[in-house]
A and B are shown apart, each in its own frame.
Chain A
Amino acid sequence: MQALTNRAKQVERQPMSFLERLYLVAIFKGMLITFRHIFKKKPTINYPEKKRPFSPVFRGLHILNRDAEGRENCTACGLCAVACPAEAITMEAAERQEGEEGLYKEEKYAAKYEINMLRCIFCGLCEDACPKDAIYLSETFAPADYQRKQFIYNKQELLIPHPVKEPEAYKKALGNRVPREKINPAI
């Protein structure tokens, strides 16, 4: 039979010698490789205690931003929803009434805002489309769950903690991602 490539190698099918039949040499060779790794630098980290730094372009769970006074930035303009290739974002808008000025930044706000994380492909187009600095993809993974209904995230779950009322949680939610400009000022 003609070989397809010239890289084919004929396998030797000679009976093993006595030394080879003992397997001791082979075992020793194998253990040598194993023990050599003890002295090497460990590439694994103890995950829940230690975490790797995120890439500056990592796209995780969405977060709905608030301004410095804690007012919601989102005005339910629908640009994230129309940009979404997976049609994962839905919302319903309402008018801000008198007395609600401290809650919502603009005249119109999202009364309901939902992201279906089962549909979401974490492409970040919603973040690009947002004209109001309102939606960001954070450093958090969508946690696994047994039930599908747990993946429909409503506005309360997406909102960033209040910067005035819950400053620690807010700071934690901001994450410790290094801004891209600091890594590469050319961008």
Chain B
Amino acid sequence: MAEEVKTFKVTIDNITIDVAPGTTVLNAARQIGGDVTPPAMCYYSKLQGSGGKCRTCLVEVAAGSSADPRPMPKLVASCRTNVMDGMVVKNITSEKVTDARNGVVEFLLLNHPLDCPICDQAGECHLQDLGYDHGKEGTRYEFKRRTFEKEDIGPYIQLHMTRCILCYRCTYVADQLTDKRVHGILDRGDHAEISTYISKAIDNDFSGNMIDVCPVGALTDKTFRFKNRVWFTKPVDAHRNCENPKCCGKATLWLRGDEVFRVTARKDEWGEVQSYDGKAGWICNTCRFDKKNSSDWTIEGLSKISRHSVIGANKYKTLEMPRETVNAVMGGRDPKLLMNIHNVSEVNNPSIELSHIQGPAHGSDFSHSKDHVDGAGESTQWGMKK
């Protein structure tokens, strides 16, 4: 006789589901999926010990369990609360939760510089999504936002401490993925900051995964820095045979034309790194930072983009080029008036391979293109073509 597996019945927003004992409320909600799933900024299912810091996943427990159906007095963090049999949880159906979450978002944005127009994470930023869903238009904060001294943490990763929400995910990555951790959180409270001890470069083999787990733009890819906006690049799934046994070799390439602008791990619907056979699909730094040729990869096809994401803007799944009729109409002669945009345009110059520049591009990287005028010069008579 097969042993009966004991499951707990939990009701989240009037949807009942049976889950294994020891599951957190957040994971039970993720099993239901959709709108009832609380947002999570610090919890990361692939990182042990993460969660409990950002408080965005707060839910109301209307009944603790069938044995003790009293409601919990305060809102609880769903990523750290295990389900009980007969538990009744309210997430989006509770006004208290929405109100508390709005407050949490306001707190998270207190010190956030809101420099989304500059930030490379914009377009795939969890804080941006959260702000759109729960944020207010204005701020009530009247004081100076905290600032930090800029710190260089190596050639691959760019640290923007002002954007950090202290979710600790990157330190868990360093603890659990790399062989030795060289960075952590220094100081406490308002002064707490991610840093390496005495400006040490982070160069572990899997340190690049810090970029993927960072929910905001605090840790971004330096090889992609300012190269392009996320929504102008096209994500495709690709893989390669990586020599590193810990690397899964499956990644998302962010292309523009044939140029590989950025390589990231593949993300699942919760914005976390995808799992393969129960193992998280982390990728090594070689795959992430050094394989910037499309010939290094076997491209599988377009990545799935959420319908509501800006990344899907101006992307065509099947591009059907219309048949060129000019030649047929002109009796085999090429038209004299066709203009090749690259003869005129200076943007997307085929001779400048932005993706192969190591760091962010500077003014000098564009200077050898034709009739470059330095930004300092007087503008050509505005409104009048030369």
Contacts and interface: CB of A to CB of B under 8 A. Distances in A.
B117 interface: yes
A93 B375 contact: no
A156 B227 CA distance: 21
Contacts of B384: 143
Interface string A110-133: 011110100000000000000110
B348 interface: yes
B366 to A, nearest CB: 5
Contact of A107 (B118, B228, B383, B386): B118
B116 A131 contact: yes
B380 A112 contact: no
B112 interface: no
A145 B384 CA distance: 11
A75 B117 contact: yes
A114 B347 contact: yes
A104 interface: yes
A94 B378 contact: no
A82 B314 contact: yes
A100 B363 contact: yes
A132 B117 contact: yes
Given A82-B310, A156-B379, A91 B118 contact: no
B218 to A, nearest CB: 15
A92 B366 contact: yes
B227 A148 contact: no
Interface residues on B, range: 35 or more
Interface in A154-175: 154, 156-162, 165-166, 169, 173
B229 interface: yes
Interface in B335-386: 337, 339, 341, 343-348, 354, 359-363, 365-366, 373, 375-386
A104 B341 CA distance: 28
A136 interface: no
A82 B343 contact: no
Chain A interface size, under 10 / 10 to 19 / 20 to 34 / 35 or more = 35 or more
Contact of B383 (A77, A111, A140): A140
Given A78-B232, A79-B117, A157-B380, A109 B361 contact: no
B225 interface: yes
Nearest to A118: B339
Nearest to B225: A95
5 contacts: A77-B117, A102-B376, A112-B347, A148-B339, A152-B344
Contacts of A91: 347
A114 B344 CA distance: 10
Interface in A63-118: 63, 72, 75-79, 81-82, 87, 90-95, 97, 100, 102-104, 106-109, 111-114, 116
B375 A103 contact: yes
B50 to A, nearest CB: 30
A52 interface: no
B226 interface: yes
A93 B380 contact: no
Contacts of B348: 90, 92
